Structure 1
Amino acid sequence: MKLLKVAVCAAALSMATSAVALAKDYTLKIQTHLSAESPNGKNAAQFAKDVESMSSGRLKLEMYYSGSIVKGTETFDAVANGILDGDMTTAGYQTGKNPAFQFLGDIMGGYNTPWEQLSWLYYGGGMEKAQKLYNKYGLQLIGWWVSGQETMSSSVPLASPADLKDWKFRSPPGMETEIFAELGAKPIVMGFGEVFTALETKVIEGADAANLAVNKSLGLYDVVKHATYPGFHSMPSDHLAINKDVYDALPNDLKSILNVAMQKLAFQHAMGTQVAVSETASTIGSEGVTLHNWSAEDRATFRAAAQKKWQEWGDKSPEARELVDSHVAFMKRIGLIK
């Protein structure tokens, strides 16, 4: 009888403890490098609203835009050190920390659509491998949101790989500079916010900035009149990563809400971007912009150069090798490469 009473008391205590945990409210401070007014920023704001709604207000996300707490490139470390709770930038910023992050930020010349890239994460073993890397640095990867293929914008025609010879353009840091240099271009690493002025003053001839719709919103096609479309060279993934200790302290239902809301964000964002890009492509010709659709053979030339660099970067760290091999195996599995 005494044992029964002890068991009942223990069960009641456990239920009471669980009830307290469920009743507790949580607030996470999350920073993105994106502006609040951009389409991406608006989608991030909707993500925060979805999380609060699904949790009945128990989990709130305080969003900080345009790197307002720390520089965008410093967000990851700020989360690891507890200054912020969440990083909503890109793994590509962390290639100096570990080259493996290149293959979680932008595979370059790999997948054709956001759906293929997200499929690697959720159905190709990508999440498990990525999680090991994030956990090593004290973060928990929640998921990706992928806009789709980006466009190269230029003041001179870019009809084929031959046109890359001596082409001076803005490039993000990382593996991309090496791929384009191999094809004869002259990449110059500069910040995203510098692109318009650099094009306008002819410091550069072109830029790898963003997708066609975003480039137009930035005014790039007021300055240059050539672009590659459909895109094929770059499809960056933005991530949401939470401080692991903070994530582990959340009740399981709130963890599930974060993960499900992230997948909804990825789905809606990819669809919305595709509509915006397609609309832009159908109207931009009237503004004097020429769209260059590279042939299958020309795209293969770029992909071959990219795949060569994958292997070189894969040798830079054990984690990079694991991710490269995983991507290659999945691409073979779905018929993207032989």
Structure 2
Amino acid sequence: MSTLVVVNPNASAGRAVKLWRSFEPAMAAAFPDMQVAVTQSARDLPGLIGSAADSGIERVIAVGGDGTNYAMINALVQLHDQNPARRMPDYGMFPIGTGCDFAAARGIPKGSLETVEWLIAAKPTPVDIGVVQFTHQGGATGRRCYLNIASGGASGDVSRRVNTALIKRPWTYLAATLATILTYKPSFVDVKLDGKDFFRGTAILVTCANSTTFGHGMIAAPNAKIDDGLLDVVILRDAGRISTLKALKQVYAGTHLSHPAVLSSRAREVRIETGGQVIDGDLDGEHFQGSDWLFTLRPGLLRILTC
């Protein structure tokens, strides 16, 4: 099967290319027809993947972390929508990045020879793709796709802090999380699931999960499945900083759904009305801002490599 490997040079704090080179011989032996492309910008991806698909490439493997996944998924969906009849390549991951939560949740070894063995054994599986529509501060509408987890509130503030950090260390995310909890002002939201009222009040965090884990090991939605056609919705109500810290401790074990400040459910459509207030959000580790969000799923839209 013909394979294109796409390397994000910015992943792993700019060390991705060097790390990839140490595994490239093993990958070339496993996939003799492998081609390698090092991208300079996410804007290059639609053209790169589109040309690969037109030339018969059947599998694309991204070298990077959650941010790379985000860029790749949006490029793949864009290409699909331009020509739904075109067969899109299967998508796989070679995790090398600051954040690799989706890969970890799927059991993909991070940056090792075990990753190569995992990819050899992996098979394509149809998965759902999340979509969020929102309003920019200037009034224009935005639309983005995600593979893992989308959320609004404190997680967006954490994402902003992490993405703007001059130096990223293993503890950067935890430090950003604690700083946010100590300073974050909760937002008033009106949440509707499949058109029905679910929550109205101030919330620290609203999560619409396609998979289970984000935030460097936080099991935000322990029951989420990437192929069930449903979003797992988890809301952390504003119950004070002490309560929030206790819930945060539980989320690393995935036991927070029983916390009194946590609400959870499932839905095909999630509408979060903010009354026009712009709040911070996080999409697969990427920071964005917007108001009045609508989350939906596109069931089985793409195929990813899984074991």
> Given the two structures, how large is their TM-score scaled by the length of structure 2?
0.33
In terms of Rg, which structure is larger?
Answer: 1
> Given the two structures, how large is their TM-score scaled by the length of structure 1?
0.31
Structure (1 or 2) with the greater strand fraction: 2
